[in-house]
Amino acid sequence: MSDMRMMYQEVILDHNRKPRNYGRIEGANHHADGHNPLCGDSIHLTMDMEDDLIRAVAFEGEGCAICKASASMMTGAVKGLKVGEAEDLASRFRGMTTGTLDMKDEQRLGRLRVFEGVKDLPSRVKCAILPWHTLLAAIHSVQAASSEGKDDPIQEA
């Protein structure tokens, strides 16, 4: 299967068409903006946290299908997780999409594995990772995340 068909499969297209948890959480106690200057992807994330429990995450913004689907699936995947678990998942997601994670015995990523193909599309890795960067920024109450500079996944990979 080619990279393209691997990426643009029904799960991703569906989340792009009908993103889950789209919008804002009223009275959210954590939030962050994420921006990818290459694509013009731009998302705003709001999050409801109680101690270190992520009760709910929502996002809104404009972006390519990979970014929107990634954001949509991320909001579902981290709901109900502890901060440590969400950080672990973000780290695995990053490892998968930059090709540094051994996928053979990988169990945690579950449905997020649909993004594995992005590792063969270096110019699109940032699109998939941006929502996860933004999540980490929101958890740690950093107001803005970027796909560039010290957070550039390509440089680090």
Residues that bind other proteins (CB under 8 A): 2-5, 7-8, 13, 38-40, 42, 62-66, 121, 123-124, 127
Measured from the CB atom, is 52 or 62 closer to other proteins?
62
Shortest Cβ distance from residue 38 to other proteins (Å)?
A: 7
Smallest distance from the beta carbon of 36 to other proteins, in angstroms? 9
Please give the C-alpha separations between residue 84 and each of 35, 53, 91, 121, 140, in angstroms, as whole numbers.
24, 9, 11, 29, 12
Closest to 156 (Cα-Cα) out of 83, 97, 105? 97
Shorter beta-carbon distance to other proteins: residue 2 or 143: 2
Given CA atoms 136, 76, 36, 10 in this order, what sign does their dihedral have? positive
CB 125 within 8 A of CB 64: no
Neighbours of 144 (CB within 10 A): 11
At 139, list the tokens: 């958890």
**Distance of closest approach, residue 127 Cβ to other proteins, in angstroms:** 7
Task: Write down the least CB distance from residue 8 to other proteins, Å.
Answer: 5
Nearer CB in complex with other proteins: 5/150: 5
Q: Which is nearer to other proteins, 16 or 92 (CB)?
A: 16
Q: At a CB cut-off of 8 Å and minimum separation 6, what does 54 contact?
A: 47, 48, 78, 79, 80, 81, 82, 83, 86, 139
Minimum CB distance to other proteins smaller for 30 or for 133: 133
Cβ at position 99, least distance to other proteins in Å: 17
